[in-house]
Chain A
Amino acid sequence: MAEYALILVSTILVNNFVLVKFLGLCPFMGVSRKLETAMGMGLATTFVLTLSSVASYMVNAYMLEPFGLEYLRTIAFIVVIAGVVQFTEMLVHKTSPMLYQVLGIFLPLITTNCAVLGVALLNTQAQHSFLESAIYGFGAAVGFSLVLVLFAAMRERLAVADVPVPFQGAAVSLVTAGLMSLAFMGFSGLVK
């Protein structure tokens, strides 16, 4: 049990995918302009990441490894992720049309979120078990959502702040993200 808690803390804070591993930076910059969309994106990514890390574990363990086809991992995982995202889109469209409208184009764009492929590949690299993969994926997604929401809250304040002209726009956002990353580095040492 302690082992699973450790994986969670490690993925959410210490080895945060966005701020420490620098994966999934595009939605981090793209969807963080408004708090609401950031929350919606965080929810959708959490769902997709957990599901796709489980699915890619199964594909890897039961289809690739028995036949010695580990070199096909990348392409197989991309197929898995694309399928899971498409499935999620249909599910969201049916169950919550409001969320579907809010997320809009960002939902299919999760396919190209490098954090999703990163989690699947890191899972096989670390030789996680089934449950460990699921928790690793979930933790990574929670960490992603956490920093996305935090960053969106900061950017909403930045939008009305008096920023010097050379720093306006993307520059100040990147500086903020860098400072956030620096702050998250402070968690290293919490878990070995």
Chain B
Amino acid sequence: MLEAILILTLIAVVFGLLLGFAAIRFKVEGDPIVDQIDSLLPQTQCGQCGYAGCRPYATAIAADEADINQCPPGGETVILSLADLLGKDPKPLSEEHGVEKPKMVAVIDEQTCIGCTLCIQACPVDCILGAGKQMHTVIEKECTGCELCLPPCPVDCILMVEVGSDPSTWKWPYPGQKEPQA
């Protein structure tokens, strides 16, 4: 009876030690700062910063390989919040990466579309719907306005349209700013 208890305890202790060792040896270190930076970026996946998407850009910022002012879609807001998070001085948007624009969405001119599917392959957020030789369309809610679908279109049927304000999205303009014409 006693040795039964001892043997079972021994087995449990051996496996406990093995698991404890494995927990230290195979510890997975997440990088929380990358997640925090990534959550501040606008997730347009447009690649204007020179990286493949928002997550790679966040990794580069965390590794101090990229500056914080390379994100045109995020504009000043993102630069300020990144500067706040990382304790750096805010600086104006870098010109070589683009200029800040109002929020746009892509719209496909359905009369002209030939159904080549090239824009579907280019879309980083998978918001273009369509099939070969069928008319394509953009799911407006999902579109981030990254403009990556414009260059591949062989018939130039994709237009960027500014998202105007309607009664549900309108807000007071900031002091000193002119109210945009609807």
Chain A residues in the interface with B (C-beta under 8 A) = 59, 63-64, 67, 69, 72, 75-76, 79-80, 82-83, 86-87, 90-91, 93-94, 97
Contact = CB atoms under 8 A, between A and B. Distances in A.
A76 B15 CA distance: 11
A67 B23 contact: no
B8 A67 contact: no
Nearest to B16: A83
A75 B26 contact: no
A63 B11 contact: yes
Contact of A83 (B3, B7, B18): B18
Interface string B23-45: 10011100000000000000000
A55 to B, nearest CB: 9
B10 interface: yes
A44 to B, nearest CB: 15
Given A79-B15, A86-B19, A87-B18, A72 B7 contact: yes
A167 to B, nearest CB: 31
B77 to A, nearest CB: 32
B4 A63 contact: no
B7 to A, nearest CB: 6
B7 A64 contact: yes
A69 B7 contact: yes
A80 B15 CA distance: 7
B22 interface: yes
Contacts of B11: 59, 63, 76, 79-80
B22 to A, nearest CB: 5
**Closest 10 CB pairs between A and B?**
A83-B15, A94-B26, A90-B26, A90-B22, A67-B3, A87-B22, A93-B28, A69-B4, A86-B19, A63-B7
A59 B15 CA distance: 11
A160 to B, nearest CB: 17
